[in-house]
């Protein structure tokens, strides 16, 4: 049986390689190379240009969203596997959460 354990916020800069569509394919985290081993899921958040309007009521609409990062499973050559949440911060990729996948 597999148990998913969430680690606290990580906030470490990493190198991420993406395909032509912008989806992650591999990353280097803590001097280890991981290959993406599933289909990445887009993480969305409010558009940056919306920030000045944050406190305003947008009824009946909703706040405009954009892709703010990705969640994906990635595996190292030795089989170590994690689910990563990554975001672009100041033009660089940052890991913000890591979920360890281990056997119970």
* Two structure tokens written together for 83: 């689910």
- % of the chain beyond a pLDDT of 90: 54
pLDDT at 82 over 90: yes
Please name the residues in contact with 14: beta carbons below 8 A apart, sequence gap of 6 or more.
27, 28, 29, 86, 93, 94, 95
Domain ranges of the chain: 2-43+71-103
> Global pTM?
0.75
């Amino acid at each position: 049986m597999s148990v998913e354990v969430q680690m606290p916020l990580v906030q470490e800069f990493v190198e991420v390689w993406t395909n032509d569509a912008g989806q992650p394919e591999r990353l280097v985290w803590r001097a280890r190379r991981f290959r993406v081993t599933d289909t990445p899921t887009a993480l969305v958040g409010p558009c940056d240009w919306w920030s000045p309007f944050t406190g305003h009521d947008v009824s009946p609409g909703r706040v405009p969203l954009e892709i703010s990062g990705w969640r994906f499973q990635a595996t190292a050559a030795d089989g170590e596997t994690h689910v990563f949440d990554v975001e672009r911060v100041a033009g660089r990729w940052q890991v913000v959460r890591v979920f360890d996948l281990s056997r119970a």
